[in-house]
Amino acid sequence: MSTSIRLYSFFVSIQGESTRAGLPCAFVRLAGCPLACRYCDTLEARTADGVPTEIRDIVARCRATGMRLVEVTGGEPLAQPGALPLLAALADAGLEVMLETSGALPIRAVDPRVRVVMDIKTPGSGMVDRFCGENLDVLARGRHEVKLVVTSRADFDWAVDRARGADLVNRCDVLVSPACPTVAYAELAEWILASGLPLRFAPQLHRLIWPASLQAEER
């Protein structure tokens, strides 16, 4: 079992997405991603080699922040063999652990103590065919959240069809995020209201707090 991971960055910020949005959070951003989403906002992390870092050192850094909430993100964390033991080690340390994942790789083996925020890529991402279908079989309320990033009304309609077809809203929290600037916040809010589904409007809160051109870890 791997005892190290390739770390891209480590920082503390406000949780900007998910049902935990608004809470202080320590972020562990892993390097590398096998996808190439058209709206990717972490291109450098996707292609970076990262710094080999021992899992125990990551856990120690997270505990030293005093934050209870920790998110492992990327890139695509699950592309690294060390991601699963890292997630388990963070949970063993008594932390509330979140995983942000693209949905392209299986999530079944993720430690059950970890809250998984899983994307379902819409057509506008260019990666819709990369979704790992078996992930739908393991979704459970309280453990999983599904996020759909929409770049257009066509993407939103696709997301609604997907949510209905897989009965997502009865199985987990379903978040819909606008790919700015292609979808305006008010526009997406109106679409959600008209859909009749309990979808959660989920803008990137950190982008509202700080300028969109400024990455949180660069502050």
Domain ranges in the chain? 4-218
Instruction: Dump pLDDT digits (tens) for 90-140.
Output: 999 999 999 999 999 999 999 999 999 999 999 999 999 999 999 999 999
pLDDT of residue 59: 98
Tell whether the model's pLDDT for residue 177 goes beyond 70: yes
Tell whether the model's pLDDT for residue 49 goes beyond 80: yes
pLDDT of residue 217: 47
Phi then psi for residue 208, to 5 deg, are -80, -35
Q: Token pair 């077809």 is at which residue?
A: 165
pLDDT of residue 212: 59
- The CATH classification of domain 4-218, taken from the options 3.30.420.40, 1.20.58.190, 3.40.50.10420, 3.20.20.70: 3.20.20.70
Query: How far is residue 193 from each of residues 18, 19, 50, 167, measured CA to CA in Å?
Result: 19, 19, 42, 18
**Can you give 7-46 as a three-state secondary structure string?**
EEEEEEEECCCCCCCCCEEEEEEECCCCCCCCCCCCHHHH
Contact 128, 138 (CB under 8 A): no
Give the pLDDT band (50/70/90) at residue 154: very high
Tell whether the model's pLDDT for residue 219 goes beyond 50: no
Contact 46, 32 (CB under 8 A): yes
pLDDT of residue 216: 44
Residue bearing the bigger pLDDT, 197 or 213: 197
Give the pLDDT band (50/70/90) at residue 3: confident
Alpha carbon 21 to its chain's center: 12
Q: What's the CA gap between 121 and 194, in Å, rounded?
A: 22
pLDDT of residue 2: 66
Tell me if residue 166 falls in helix, strand or coil.
Answer: coil
